[in-house]
């Protein structure tokens, strides 16, 4: 049976949620962006009214305000985005259990088995668009096709609040003239390589030589050619089939550059506390830890270590990150941003080899201690209990919204 795949993309999602929270913003040019005082003044989302002035995602706030003098900047609210994203997905699941998130505001739906109940793909897409406007006051663009790649492409072709059908009969006419970078997985670097060999459109890619593309891009060359020819058979995964997250990370751009190891240690403890909490919430342990540093000149470096035994204690995570910093950073330049990432995740109930000469608190006691601290933070706020060194956080933004860096589509 020919598959029917939908790709639903919430239009200007962050700005739409801002207008839901504050109806007074409706019909006005709105840009969701970070706080310039905290060095996060980048436009994350914009309303249609701001878009008419040429405001784009990724613009620096002052550039966006030059394009649109009446622009209204709004701080992001990630808990609200997660809440509304889940509510939208619950509506999708009323039509099919095959709903695969692709980031916080996009989902694929396989409605092949739902057509007898709800009509063909285009009809379901129209019904979803009208329901989201009526029930959520949000709009989506929907691509309808016979595979995931073309469905995703379709949702990008007409915005906002539109449905685009790409069928086997019309895809060569509608898809092949598009620029090659419109295809999923063709980024800036891949586009440059393809353009150098005279491949400018998706049709050029579809007609390309398999051997030449493999020589140019490795195994991705033939894969992209198949995508361009509509030969994608990857399934839409159910929630139970989604891959487990490979890592849990937390990063922050500091409000000022870090110039001493003591300042860096303060940020490391701040990040480790949050990563540790999320590891416990999701009942996983970390087998490795990576430390990412961005210098004041925006250059970056990354170092990693593996734990002798899996852990998730904030103390152990911070100690590991501190060791990496001491071993590898020369302090020729101050540090602008810090991230730590716990990787090689495993379930908490798996076998665990204890260290022979462990002089720290027993594992069970340390776990209980940090679990109680988590409960206190949930009840009285994130800063109700913390290390004394974090009582004055000069380099941490007052409104900290970075606690959602889990890989898109994962279950952690």
**Mean pLDDT to the nearest integer, 77-91:** 93
Is it the case that residue 190 has pLDDT exceeding 90? yes
Asked if the model's pLDDT at residue 360 lies above 80, the reply is no
Is it the case that residue 127 has pLDDT exceeding 90? yes
Query: Is the pLDDT confidence value at 262 over 60?
Result: yes
Query: CA–CA separation, 402 vs 136, rounded Å?
Result: 25
pLDDT at position 68 over 80: yes
Provide the pLDDT for residue 391: 62
* Per-residue pLDDT, 175: 96
408 pLDDT more than 80: no
* pLDDT (average), residues 221-234: 95
- Identify the pLDDT of residue 204: 96
Backbone angles phi, psi at 340, to 5 degrees: -125, 145
pLDDT tens digits for range 275-285: 988 888 888 88
pLDDT band at residue 362 using 50, 70 and 90 as cut-offs: low
Confidence check: pLDDT of 161 > 60: yes
Residue 286 has pLDDT above 80, yes or no: yes
Per the CB < 8 A criterion, the answer to whether 26 and 133 are in contact is no
- Per-residue pLDDT of 25-48, as tens digits, reads 999 999 998 766 655 678 889 999
Task: List phi, psi (to 5°) of 221.
Answer: -60, -60
pLDDT at 138 over 50: yes
Instruction: Give the pLDDT confidence score for residue 401 in this predicted structure.
Output: 38
Instruction: Provide mean pLDDT across the span 255-280.
Output: 88
Nearest-10 Cα torsion for 398, 79, 148, 145: -120
Residues of the chain with pLDDT > 90: what percent? 59
| pLDDT at residue 162 in the model | 95
* pLDDT attached to residue 356: 54
Give the per-residue pLDDT at 368.
76
Least confident of 105-109, 257-261, 382-386: 382-386
Residue 127 among the catalytic residues: no
Mean pLDDT value across the chain: 86
Measured CA to CA, the distance from residue 167 to residue 182 in angstroms comes to 17
pLDDT surpasses 80 at 208: yes
Given a cut of 90, whether residue 320 has pLDDT beyond it is yes
Tokens of 194: 């393809």
Angle formed at CA 26 by CA 25 and CA 28, multiple of 5 degrees: 70
Calculate what percentage of the chain has a pLDDT beyond 70: 88
13, 120 contact by CB (below 8 A) = no
pTM: 0.75
Give me the count of residues in the chain: 412
Contact of 33 with 40, CB cutoff 8 Å:
yes
Going by pLDDT thresholds of 50, 70 and 90, the confidence category of residue 315 is confident
First to last CA, the chain: 34
**What is the mean pLDDT of the segment spanning 160-176?**
95
Residue 57 has pLDDT above 90, yes or no: no
Query: Under the phi-then-psi rule, with left for phi > 0, alpha for psi from -120 to 50, and beta for the rest, what region is 103?
Result: left
For residue 347, name the pLDDT band (cuts at 50, 70, 90).
Answer: confident
- The catalytic residue among 106, 214, 239, 241 is 106
pLDDT, residue 379, reads 79
pLDDT at position 394: 53
At which residue do the structure tokens 């030969």 appear?
A: 231
């Amino acid at each position: 049976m020919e598959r029917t795949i939908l790709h639903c993309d919430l239009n200007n999602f962050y700005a739409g949620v801002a207008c839901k929270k504050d109806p007074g913003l409706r019909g006005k040019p709105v840009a969701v962006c970070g706080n310039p005082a905290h060095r996060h003044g980048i436009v994350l989302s914009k309303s249609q009214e701001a878009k008419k002035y040429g405001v784009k995602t990724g613009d620096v706030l002052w550039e966006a305000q030059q394009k649109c003098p009446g622009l209204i900047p709004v701080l992001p609210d990630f808990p609200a985005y997660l809440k509304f994203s889940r509510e939208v997905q619950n509506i999708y699941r009323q039509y099919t259990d095959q709903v695969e998130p692709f980031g916080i505001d996009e989902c694929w739906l396989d409605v092949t088995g739902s057509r007898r109940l709800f009509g063909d793909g285009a009809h379901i897409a129209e019904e979803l668009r009208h329901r989201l406007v009526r029930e959520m006051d949000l709009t989506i663009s929907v691509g309808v096709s016979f595979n995931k790649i073309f469905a995703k492409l379709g949702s990008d072709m007409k915005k906002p609040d539109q449905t685009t059908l790409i069928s086997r009969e019309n895809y060569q006419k509608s898809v092949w003239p598009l620029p090659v970078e419109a295809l999923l997985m063709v980024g800036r670097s891949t586009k440059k390589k393809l353009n150098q060999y005279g491949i400018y459109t998706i049709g050029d890619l579809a007609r390309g030589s398999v051997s030449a593309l493999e020589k140019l891009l490795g195994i991705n060359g033939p894969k992209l050619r198949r995508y361009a020819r509509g030969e994608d058979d990857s399934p839409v995964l159910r929630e139970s089939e989604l891959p487990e997250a490979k890592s849990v990370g937390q990063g922050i751009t500091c409000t000022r550059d870090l110039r001493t190891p003591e300042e860096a240690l303060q940020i490391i403890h701040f990040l480790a506390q949050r990563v540790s909490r999320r590891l416990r919430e999701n009942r996983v342990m970390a087998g490795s830890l990576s430390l990412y540093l961005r210098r004041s000149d925006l250059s970056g470096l990354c170092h990693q270590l593996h734990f002798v035994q899996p852990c998730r204690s904030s103390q152990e995570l911070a100690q590991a990150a501190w060791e990496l910093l001491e071993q590898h950073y020369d302090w020729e330049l101050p540090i602008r941003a810090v991230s730590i990432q716990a990787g090689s995740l495993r379930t908490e109930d798996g076998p665990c080899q204890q260290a022979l000469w462990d002089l720290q608190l027993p594992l069970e006691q340390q776990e209980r201690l940090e679990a109680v601290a988590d409960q206190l933070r949930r009840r009285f706020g994130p800063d109700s209990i913390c290390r004394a060194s974090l009582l004055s956080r000069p380099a941490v933004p007052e409104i900290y919204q970075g606690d959602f860096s889990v890989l898109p589509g994962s279950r952690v």
